Structure 1
Amino acid sequence: MTQTRVRLWNIDEYHRMFETGIIAADERVELIEGQVIPMSAKNPPHAATTLCASDYLKRLLAEVALVRVQDPIQLSQYSEPEPDIAVVRIDLRKYIDHHPAPNEVFILIEVADTTLETDRKQKALLYAKAGIIEYWILDVNQRQVYVFREPSSEAYNQEFILEEDTTLSLVAFPEIEVQISQLFP
Structure 2
Amino acid sequence: MSVEMKRRLFTVPEYHLMIKVGVFNKNNRVELIEGEIIEMAAIGTRHASCVKRLIAVFSDLERRRAILGVQDPIQLTERTEPQPDVVLLQPRSDYYATAHPIPSEVLLLVEVS
What is residue 72 of structure 2 aligned with on the other side? 71
Once the 2 structures are TM-superposed, how far is the Cα of residue 53 of structure 1 from its aligned partner?
0.5
Once the 2 structures are TM-superposed, how far is the Cα of residue 61 of structure 1 from its aligned partner?
4.9
What is residue 92 of structure 2 aligned with on the other side? 91
Instruction: Provide the rounded CA distance (Å) in 2 between the counterparts of 1:61 and 1:3.
Output: 54
TM-score normalised per structure 1: 0.57
Between Structure 1 and Structure 2, which shows a larger proportion of strand residues? 1
Instruction: Provide the rounded CA distance (Å) in 2 between the counterparts of 1:62 and 1:96.
Output: 17
Q: Show structure 1 runs of 4+ deviating over 2 A.
A: 1-5, 60-63
What SS does the aligned partner of 2:112 have?
strand
How many residue pairs match? The answer is 112
Instruction: Provide the rounded CA distance (Å) in 2 between the counterparts of 1:62 and 1:31.
Output: 29
Instruction: Provide the rounded CA distance (Å) in 1 between the counterparts of 2:26 and 2:112.
Output: 23
Once the 2 structures are TM-superposed, how far is the Cα of residue 62 of structure 1 from its aligned partner?
3.3
Instruction: Provide the rounded CA distance (Å) in 1 between the counterparts of 2:24 and 2:58.
Output: 32
* Aligned-pair Cα RMSD in Å: 1.4
What is residue 29 of structure 1 aligned with on the other side? 30
Instruction: Provide the rounded CA distance (Å) in 1 between the counterparts of 2:26 and 2:17.
Output: 11
Instruction: Provide the rounded CA distance (Å) in 2 between the counterparts of 1:99 and 1:6.
Output: 26
What SS does the aligned partner of 1:59 have?
coil
Preserved contact between residue 18 and residue 25 of structure 1 (Cα < 8 Å): no
Instruction: Provide the rounded CA distance (Å) in 1 between the counterparts of 2:110 and 2:103.
Output: 14
- Higher relative CO (Cα under 8 Å, sequence separation at least 6) belongs to 2
What is residue 46 of structure 1 aligned with on the other side? 47
What SS does the aligned partner of 2:107 have?
strand
Once the 2 structures are TM-superposed, how far is the Cα of residue 2 of structure 1 from its aligned partner?
4.4
